Structure 1
Amino acid sequence: MSTEPHDLDLFPEGLRGKRILLCTESLGPVNGVSRTTKMLVDQLRSNGALVSVVAPYNHTKVNTFNPIRSSRNADPLFHEEVRLTGYPLPFNPELSVAYPVRLSELYRRTFGAPPDLIYLASPASLGFQVMLQLRQHSKEFQVPVICNFQTDLAGYCSLLFPWPLGDIANRVFGYVQGYLFRHTSVKTVFYPSTFVKSYLTQVANVPSDKMEVLRRGVDTEGFNPAKRSEELREQWAPNGEPILFTCSRLAGEKGFGFLAEAAIELDKRGMEFKLVVVGGNRNPIVEREVKEMFGPLEEKGKVIFAGFKVGEDLMTHYASADIFLHCSITETFGLVVLEAMASGVPVIARDEGGPSDIIEHGKTGFLVRPNDLSGFVEKVLKLGRDTVLRKEFSAAARSFACEATWERISNKAAWQMFDTIEQFEKNQVASTSTTRIPFMGWLLLSAPVQQFLLWKVTKAKLAFALSIIISFWAVVGSYLVFADVGHLVKTHVPRAYALTKSISRK
């Protein structure tokens, strides 16, 4: 690949017309990863690249990307979006674990043939299957792969699964990711923060020459202090209290336990505030469990659960806040932090994960040691009471965010794709000899016979890879079903008990 620096204000002309198979675990207005993927896909398509997106179904089931089928010369075999069936995660039904699928089937349903490049956005159930099957092909048929590591799956497992399953899953994910990322078919692994780079280097043992930093951008026209709504602020805090704000899926791994403890402590110290929480969970049990953490504050009217917000409504909510509180320690980047800063809202965050690279401590916000509850509360009190400091942080946060544009970030990814495809094509031209298996050459078999036997060997290796995928899915599926049963019990047993008690009283 080219080592010359590229002009990130320009899109690589050579990428126009290239076929890119983009596999993602989430598609639609689901989370920060899917929003990041959307910006990249829109940039690629608007500049002429042919991008076919493959993802499991989620609750939206809509194409949120800009269509390109207006071209009269479009390949009839090309499909912009392919949805796969899967099993929804019990603790987050918006996401699904993709059922086993053949790589050849993905080729057939997208371009009708192998693409020029495969891009894996935050690879997990789908991305792992693609990489495992791809490495079974002979080298000249291994389509080059670029991965974007955006989700700390190992960290989530440690928090979500009970002991010892969490520790086991953590180790398994580290081994599997390293095994797949180190293969020669994977040319680049994008990482968004130093936190992720340390994980990839120390845990997954990914070679440093494969890793490339790729930050995230933000729509600074959409997320803008100008969208501050005094009417909304009056609705939230009629007495002029400081408005604390957070935006996240309501789930335990997002740090809501820590946030609840901090908010309760702020109340005990006499701070008048309103905490606005934007987000929800399609699993009502998980959502209820999170809300119950804030029970004492809800009774006092100090917490407002605003539910899901999108588009202009979401941007107005951001801009109308005073301080953004980020309590998750599993974020590989933390797009919500950058969105808050673009909205002119200073951030207080736990100093672990992606936000540590975004926030400049003492200038755009504060970073607090991950388990320092008292320190976190002190920073909220300080910023909540000092309006002059808040204004200084607000201006600095906005200035920082304006430097992170989606166009330059997407163009960086596009240049990496172009360089990877160009190098792969050069290697194919240079490789003029027929691929041989050593013992076949020793037997002096003819080239057609060698190719036939090679095809047989490849089929056997693919069958073995699929058996691994199916076995792994059986284990994961068993746990998911068990978790679903547990959620059903939590839902219906209390209702049945209450109904029985009500009848007995009558």
Structure 2
Amino acid sequence: MEKAAAEQQQQQPQQLELMVTDDQASATESDAQIQPKSKSQSLATESRDDFPSFLKGKRLLLVTESLGPVNGVSRTTLMLIEYLRKNGMQLAIVAPHSKQSRLKPSVQDTSELRLPGYPLPYNPDLTVVYPFQLEDVYKQTFKPDIVYLASPASTGFQFLLQIRQLQEPPVVLLNFQTDLSAYSEILFPGPVARFSVWLLGVVQGFLFSHRSVHTIFYPSSGIRRYLLKAGAPSSRLVQLGRGVDTELFNPSQRDEAYHKELAPNGELVLVCVCRIAPEKGFDFLAQVARRLVEQSFPFKLLIVGGNLNPEVEADVRRLFDPVKDHVIFTGFLTGASLARAYASSDLFLHCSITETFGLVVLEAMASGVPVIARDEGGPSDIIRHGTTGYLVPPQDVDTFVDLVHRFSDKPLLSTMAVDARQYACDTTWDKINKRVAWQLAEGLHEHLRLKRKKRPIRNWLANRYYGFKSGVVQPIVVRFRLNFAILLVYIVWMMAAIVLIIYGNKVFSRTGHLLRNIPVIFQENHYQTFKQGFREAFKQLTTPQK
């Protein structure tokens, strides 16, 4: 019977590991993968300055929520892909379909699987992936030694839910890069927001605490507190910052002619780089700009970024109508053009309070540009207050504006620019990705060590009854659990889709936004938008559908 089971496994190499249990600790396959004593010694003796040789040739399934759009998750993930591929790992990439492909791996022979889904109405860069089966993903890529989840959301959650149904799941490492709860609080109306935050905490705590999860990377102290509150095991939390390309983002990219074009009368050039979306703090930035104009402060504000949803971008642009003579929108920039925009500016303004890290802050500092940021989220751990920039209480517009005034002092601007550059030079991508590689190596080594752990009684029983269990019992149990998990995904997906479709509709979204901001809509610059929103809603609701 054992022989028949072995032949069956050989005939179906691409199927999920439905028949494998911890009882197979003494199996030949595990022996071939690792000799614990020798590998443990090699990991201990290898220099941490080098890539761990243990990982060379290992198969890593990298699952990311974003690959292609210009954002922090895409850029961080791409740098890791290039690093691991260059050092000899076998990679397969799984990501949602994306209309954008400005950022993509330079190595063309890496396997890439795109999953279909529903683009978020307010941010088409991000997609809620339709339910899928893990077995289908494995068939189109490979069965991995390691699963790495970058910024897990709709894709990563489905992976975690299905992985935990397996008798012997692969080792999982995840990088918590997007604070979905903070986005929910900003984007959804009150009751929906509170329910979303609660539900996210429950789901994340449940999924992140499974035995297959070896490491949870987090970018800042605020996110650590959130994860602990959600129920993530503290022993698995590892802080991981971001790297920055100090050759690309460099003060040498400064273009004085471009600076003169932006500020022909010697104004201070302020820059903000991010996706144009409501959760990025543009209402706060618009208030800062209006105050500066009221105080006759000479400045130009360069806003770098865009949004695939033109209505969302138009709504943000309207916030700056009262100060439009002082504001320049560039649209999306990448590469040398983005580096020039950073370095040709004088001061970086960061107004988002939803960033888990804030890679743009580090890029600005690498470009020799000091930063003023609201003191919440990732930037709080990056900026050295009074040295590389300033941190301001999140709702304190007056202090923010006063600090902008300080940078009229050229010696202060020059000193902070040098300090900011020096700080950024200590945070290279090579150092960051090397830390990830060593966590991958330790996670896989520990996973295989536990897999081989001797259990004499269980192993004796396994050798007697393995054929029956693997051929009859386990496939039924695991298949039932997987199908139940997929059914649960479908139910949750439909619940989420209904909320997103309703809230993403321009009638509901604009009217809902205005209702949440009753105290300010009667200000002069909001009144026309208020009337327009309700007229549009009434017109669409009363027009017969064709």
Aligned to 1:450: 469
Counterpart of 1:18, as a letter, is K
CA shift at 1:483, angstroms? Answer: 3.1
Aligned to 1:500: none
Alignment of 1:186 onto 2:219: no
Aligned to 2:271: 245
Residue pair 2:69, 2:98 contacting (<8 A) in 1 also? no
Q: 1:311 and 1:213, CA in 2 relative to 1: closer, same or farther beyond 3 A? A: same
Aligned to 1:504: none
CA shift at 1:8, angstroms? Answer: 4.3
Alignment of 1:85 onto 2:109: no
CA shift at 1:235, angstroms? Answer: 1.3
1:102-501 equivalent positions in 2, closer than 5 A: 102-111=133-142, 114-138=143-167, 141-201=168-228, 203-298=229-324, 301-383=325-407, 385-430=408-453, 446-451=465-470, 452-486=472-506
Residue pair 1:349, 1:367 contacting (<8 A) in 2 also? yes
Give the SS at the match of 1:20.
strand
Give the SS at the match of 2:246.
coil
Q: TM-score, normalised by structure 1?
A: 0.89
CA shift at 1:134, angstroms? Answer: 0.7
- Structure 2: how far apart are the matches of 1:30 and 1:96? 14
- Structure 1: how far apart are the matches of 2:68 and 2:98? 8
Residue pair 1:24, 1:126 contacting (<8 A) in 2 also? yes
Counterpart of 1:376, as a letter, is F
Query: Per-residue CA shift, 1:265-306, capped at 9, x if unaligned?
Result: 1111110100000001110111011011111000xx100111
Residue pair 2:276, 2:316 contacting (<8 A) in 1 also? yes
Alignment of 1:47 onto 2:71: no
CA shift at 1:205, angstroms? Answer: 1.9
Aligned to 1:58: 98
Query: Per-residue CA shift, 1:135-177, capped at 9, x if unaligned?
Result: 1111xx2101001001000110010011110111011111111
Higher helix fraction: Structure 1 or Structure 2? 2
- Structure 2: how far apart are the matches of 1:433 and 1:148? 37
Aligned to 2:3: none
- Structure 1: how far apart are the matches of 2:439 and 2:283? 40
- Structure 2: how far apart are the matches of 1:450 and 1:14? 33
Residue pair 2:69, 2:103 contacting (<8 A) in 1 also? no
Counterpart of 1:270, as a letter, is S
- Structure 1: how far apart are the matches of 2:507 and 2:59? 42
- Structure 2: how far apart are the matches of 1:224 and 1:377? 27
- Structure 1: how far apart are the matches of 2:487 and 2:537? 42
- Structure 2: how far apart are the matches of 1:421 and 1:489? 46
- Structure 2: how far apart are the matches of 1:49 and 1:460? 33
Residue pair 2:171, 2:214 contacting (<8 A) in 1 also? yes
- Structure 2: how far apart are the matches of 1:176 and 1:16? 34
- Structure 1: how far apart are the matches of 2:375 and 2:357? 12
Aligned to 1:75: none
CA shift at 1:425, angstroms? Answer: 1.8
CA shift at 1:243, angstroms? Answer: 0.3
Give the SS at the match of 2:505.
helix
Q: 1:307 and 1:8, CA in 2 relative to 1: closer, same or farther beyond 3 A? A: farther
Query: Per-residue CA shift, 1:80-128, capped at 9, x if unaligned?
Result: 11101010010111111111011111111111xx200000000000000
- Structure 2: how far apart are the matches of 1:470 and 1:287? 32
CA shift at 1:9, angstroms? Answer: 2.9
Counterpart of 2:264, as a letter, is P
Q: 1:169 and 1:304, CA in 2 relative to 1: closer, same or farther beyond 3 A? A: same
Give the SS at the match of 2:190.
coil
- Structure 2: how far apart are the matches of 1:193 and 1:94? 24
Query: Per-residue CA shift, 1:318-345, capped at 9, x if unaligned?
Result: 0000000000011000000000000000
- Structure 1: how far apart are the matches of 2:316 and 2:139? 43
Give the SS at the match of 1:100.
coil
**Identity, % of aligned pairs?**
46
- Structure 1: how far apart are the matches of 2:252 and 2:486? 53
Residue pair 2:61, 2:146 contacting (<8 A) in 1 also? yes
CA shift at 1:427, angstroms? Answer: 2.1
Residue pair 2:507, 2:536 contacting (<8 A) in 1 also? no
- Structure 2: how far apart are the matches of 1:488 and 1:241? 41
Query: Per-residue CA shift, 1:212-237, capped at 9, x if unaligned?
Result: 11110000000000010111111111
Q: 1:489 and 1:28, CA in 2 relative to 1: closer, same or farther beyond 3 A? A: closer
CA shift at 1:487, angstroms? Answer: 5.8
- Structure 1: how far apart are the matches of 2:352 and 2:498? 28
- Structure 2: how far apart are the matches of 1:6 and 1:389? 45
- Structure 1: how far apart are the matches of 2:417 and 2:446? 45
CA shift at 1:484, angstroms? Answer: 3.8
Residue pair 1:8, 1:408 contacting (<8 A) in 2 also? no
Alignment of 1:97 onto 2:164: no
Q: What runs of 5+ residues in structure 1 fail to find an aligned partner?
A: 70-78, 498-506
Query: Per-residue CA shift, 1:399-435, capped at 9, x if unaligned?
Result: 0000001011101101111111122222222356797
